[in-house]
Amino acid sequence: KAIEFNPDNSVKGFRLTGADGKPGPLVEADVYVSAMPVDIMKLMCPDPWRQMPFFSQLSELEGIPVINVHLWFDRKLTAPDSLVFSRSPLLSVYADMSSACKEYYSEERSMLELVFAPCSVAAGADRNWIAASDEDIVEATLKELERLFPLEIAADGSMAKLRKFAVVKTPRSVYAAIPGRNKFRPSQETPVGNFVLAGDYTSQKFLGSMEGAVLSGKLAAEVIADRAAGHPTQGVKAVHPSVASAESVVAA
């Protein structure tokens, strides 16, 4: 629910939310790690931290919307047993989970999971798909699938029949990797002595991705282990001068 802090700005504890939605217990520890997405971290940032360029640079990183579409068909499609990068402008990647994933395995019926993106005008889509109805999103997906599976799927349902569907909208997903963002990605080590960041948006060699998330966790653990062992750390990544100078203009 909140990051509570001491007068010296170090973390006092993480306040949890009680089952009734009211403030719950305060969790206290030697070191605190945030693995929250960047947009949530911005919201949870204690007010005094917002004045620090290290945390205010997070405003340069913003999650993009993504939609995940799940389609259950009445027959097996001839889709490869792997994740496929699609040539459709609306469907970035998809997989036939009935082949690629043990939990959905079936020799009779396909279950496609598709990433519907870009889905906002800012990200390059023709409309704001996040605001569209699930039915409109499925209809647009089937039109694209008609082109990808011309012998098996027709948008009018005359070939493979759709048994059921699910649409999952994520309004803030990975940070938008538009040009110039990398310099604003914060190090795992922060200026707050007992607070460390993890998450795909933090500074490491991968973009926002599963690999980036895992590597960021390892780097966060390294900061904590090095400090505990009294070893030198990599240090806090310098904040780009444009953040600091923008702040001094606001302050003036």
- List contacts with ligand FAD (CB under 6 A): 35-37, 40, 44, 66, 68, 93, 115, 170, 173-174, 199-200, 208-211, 213
Least separation in angstroms between CB 33 and ligand FAD: 11
**Read out DSSP for 122-188?**
TTT-SS-GGGS-HHHHHHHHHHHHHHHSTTT--TTSSSSPEEEEEEEEESS-SBP--TT-GGGPPPS
Least Cβ distance, residue 176 to ligand FAD (angstroms) = 13
Residue 43 or 151 having the CB closest to ligand FAD: 43
Q: Write down the least CB distance from residue 232 to ligand FAD, Å.
A: 26
CB of 118 to ligand FAD, least distance (A): 12
Q: How many CB atoms lie within 10 A of CB 217?
A: 18
Query: Which residue has 């693995």 as its token pair?
Result: 35
Count helices and strands in the chain by DSSP H and E runs: 7, 10
Least separation in angstroms between residue 182's CB and ligand FAD is 15
If you ran DSSP here, which 8-state letter would residue 52 be given? S
Look up tokens 């969790």; give the residue.
Answer: 27
CB closer to ligand FAD out of 37 and 53: 37
Considering the complex, state which of residue 68 and residue 88 has its C-beta at the smaller distance from ligand FAD.
68
- Residue 80 burial (CB count, 10 A): 10
Return the number of the residue (45 or 246) whose C-beta is nearest ligand FAD. 45
- Residue holding tokens 């170090």? 10
Closer to ligand FAD by CB, 161 or 206: give it. 206
